[in-house]
Structure 1
């Protein structure tokens, strides 16, 4: 019997505690005391009935109201707190939108605020940006319908309870971190409920089947509930739900596309954007916004290639956002850029006289004039990527003569036209090649030359040559020079050569052209007559005397 009496005692004690302090088992709003705070003052600020300050004091076990030190955490039961309906502000309207209040449909304007039970509807190619009382934002896409079920603000606690139903269309949210048990941000769809606590997310009802919903999380975590089951969708993951199917596992979203050669300025239209293709992408979704916050949607498109040409929008600053779409219809992570479409001149047309030049030969680079251009920028480089620049000049004229030519090599050049707003796009580069002229060609010589004879050397003229250097050597490597000289002519005469095998060569000097010798020519210098002539005459005289 004793154990039974003991059990009865503890049960009664437990029930008494429950009756005396029912708030202890409910969720509380927590407040950290600051210097100068009192329970009396806090009760007047946050409670519906400020006279309940004594209950708050007792609930927190505080003996002296004015002696609560800073840093202490006080608990306030939620049912004691002030709360009131709040409004949702309309930040931006693109296109046309309406709202229904008490059965009356009206066209939405920036002067309107949306409240509990309002129904917001957008038309085709339209969107509405909304701002909630806690600073959270929601962008409602085209052909969408959103019903506001709960819009409550808990006094000055900072807690806001926002709950709504997305009946069709799409919504994109940037939700502030939710602090406190009374703070909520919830989007219910025909097939699931998405609960958000401080994140960036997208939710989209399939336009062909309202029972199919796409949830995608760019940042933070979203809790998705389907029937009795829940799934936590983390950053970089998505979840496709269907009302007639079990809750699936979240899957990784496709990565953010990488733009190829993005520009900060585009010289008017057309503007073509290119990004690297992504494995597993069925298509790509592109959006164009006027503002940096990407709430003022100007254009959207679904493209099946990794390139898109923007429509001819007004000149100015824009933001573009692209994401890949996988085979399940889930849209991947965003890639965005800010750029300017400037009223700058379009590219001029290049005029190139020739594609082949010799060193020292004048080169003329010309291009067409643009009526809206006040200046031009010329780039000349040794590579098509223009990493190895030879020249970069800003000019008023539409030509740049290179009167002294260039060294031998391959060159690329391009031009951009500009005005006070900056420079437009460069032209496609043109190529030209500069080659060295051929080396001199020696005129043929006799195989032998008597040492008392004059050696006449001649060679072909070389383009742009200013002088010629000739050499005569006793060895083929020209390490033992017998004679040498410089002349402006292409002919020279040499006397008093030694009697031996000699090697001869000549080089032309000119712009960017030095010491490029001709092929070697040989000649054998022999003794005059070589004994043959004297012997022949003596033999003839002797023969005559004998007769």
Structure 2
């Protein structure tokens, strides 16, 4: 009988030892709060409520029904209940598709849609999805990326969450919540690397071939594994992992660039954003979002130059960030700033007159295009390009204006502003310049004889003028015998004998404008005395 009791006691001891974890096993440490007892604690957190007795033993709890607030309980992780918890689409821009693990159903992604174990998300061009996990960690999946959700679970209501995803292709960034216990886990896998993170922010890139992955740590530290090796990458550093190889030595990321001046309100579409060059940057990435968290992007682009034209976005407040990209493709630390776009309604484009066009003695009709954003237009005409002396300022729904309303000579500057149906004035359009000059006076030449020559002269009416002189045998100038240009307001020529000839002059201004021909002048021929010479010659012969 005694031997039987000894065997039973030994069996009970061995049974108990099976549930006592070793000192090296992971434990969740819980701090007791008022109202806790071992029974309700076990019911809430353990996979089996019957474990409460084993929990009492390993923690030496004397009064399980009245535990002291502030005391701690060590719980083996293997005893804590685990349950599947879906992730959720927190925000989305553009188009994304979800492939369900169950049934291979294809769905268009939308905000608040749940993501389950095994699901795959594919983002389209210029699209993005932000995923929120059970512990409030956020992963932003950028355009043309593919991500599979390999593990989504939580340890009851302990706050410990186990999430593992695989970036099959593309880019993502993560903002991971700080771990609350040993059961907390967050891993991002790529075809060539595994990144284990907790309480950090970092970016991951997987190239289309699956052969190369880049990991860039912005905050905290990330343990990166590849080729059976592991490297700890601190904040401000990145690593590249090739398939089957160890992660490269952590490399310091490029510093953030500095933006050049940005106006308080950008009034021009496609305004050019600029920043300083980074010595080792091979390219730059620019991203725009409607909030400073950048969970999803409205636009992104990569350029070799330290500038980027802003995309055509609705008026509003935005955030932009820029970072350099080095020769490995590692993207550096970023600079972010806020900007306000107020570029609508867009002004129309002026059509006529052409900029700096000149008119003679007449005022032009101004013409412009139709702006789809505008209900009407504000037209301004001034005598100076700063519009300090405004000659006309009026609203019109037309797209033409007869400037004879301000008929006068001089220089004129005009511009247009669109006005929306709600009365909002858009940015001022481009300034165009035209001038109205007098018609040059028709040159009336006067003739005089000097030193055996004839000299025609006329009045000079402006600087830089040239003159065209024509002499013809007929008053209709069909038979022209002289056609010359002169810069002097006079023209000298030899007299002629015989029939009359005709002369006219016109002025050519410095800008190429040609005046009408002046009045036609008659040049009388000298008397022809050749027959008297013949008669006198005959008489002389006869006398001899």
Task: Give 3-state SS (helix, strand or coil) of 1:134's partner.
Answer: coil
Q: For 2:380 and 2:392, how far apart are their aligned partners in 1?
A: 5
Q: Could you tell me whether the CA contact under 8 Å between 1:29 and 1:78 is conserved in 2?
A: yes
Q: Could you tell me whether the CA contact under 8 Å between 1:266 and 1:424 is conserved in 2?
A: no
Match of 1:323 in 2: 323
Q: For 1:238 and 1:197, how far apart are their aligned partners in 2?
A: 17
Q: Could you tell me whether the CA contact under 8 Å between 1:370 and 1:417 is conserved in 2?
A: no
- C-alpha deviation, 1:61, in angstroms: 1.1
Matches within 5 A, 1:229-378: 229-342=229-342
- C-alpha deviation, 1:262, in angstroms: 2.6
- C-alpha deviation, 1:183, in angstroms: 0.9
The reply to whether residue 36 of structure 1 matches residue 47 of structure 2 is no
Match of 1:59 in 2: 58
Q: For 2:90 and 2:393, how far apart are their aligned partners in 1?
A: 46
Q: Could you tell me whether the CA contact under 8 Å between 1:264 and 1:338 is conserved in 2?
A: no
Deviations 1:59-108 (A, max 9, x none): 11111124533322211111221211110101222222112223232222
Match of 2:532 in 1: none
Task: Give 3-state SS (helix, strand or coil) of 2:298's partner.
Answer: strand
Task: Give 3-state SS (helix, strand or coil) of 1:57's partner.
Answer: helix
Structure 1 unmatched runs, 5+? 1-13, 356-362, 373-415, 429-547
The reply to whether residue 82 of structure 1 matches residue 81 of structure 2 is yes
Distance 1:283 1:70, change over 3 A: same
Task: Give 3-state SS (helix, strand or coil) of 1:58's partner.
Answer: helix
Distance 1:63 1:352, change over 3 A: farther
Q: What root-mean-square deviation, in Å, do the aligned CA atoms of Structure 1 and Structure 2 show?
A: 3.4
- C-alpha deviation, 1:190, in angstroms: 0.9
Q: For 1:367 and 1:241, how far apart are their aligned partners in 2?
A: 69
Task: Give 3-state SS (helix, strand or coil) of 2:53's partner.
Answer: helix
Q: Deviation above 4 Å: which 4+ runs of structure 1?
A: 14-20, 343-355, 363-372, 416-428
Deviations 1:383-402 (A, max 9, x none): xxxxxxxxxxxxxxxxxxxx
Distance 1:28 1:338, change over 3 A: same
Distance 1:264 1:91, change over 3 A: farther
Distance 1:52 1:28, change over 3 A: same
Distance 1:193 1:269, change over 3 A: same
- C-alpha deviation, 1:327, in angstroms: 1.2
Task: Give 3-state SS (helix, strand or coil) of 1:266's partner.
Answer: coil
Match of 2:185 in 1: 184
- C-alpha deviation, 1:423, in angstroms: 9.9
Q: For 1:343 and 1:72, how far apart are their aligned partners in 2?
A: 63
Q: Could you tell me whether the CA contact under 8 Å between 1:345 and 1:370 is conserved in 2?
A: no
Task: Give 3-state SS (helix, strand or coil) of 1:163's partner.
Answer: strand
Task: Give 3-state SS (helix, strand or coil) of 2:42's partner.
Answer: helix
The reply to whether residue 95 of structure 1 matches residue 94 of structure 2 is yes
Q: Could you tell me whether the CA contact under 8 Å between 1:118 and 1:147 is conserved in 2?
A: yes
Match of 1:210 in 2: 210
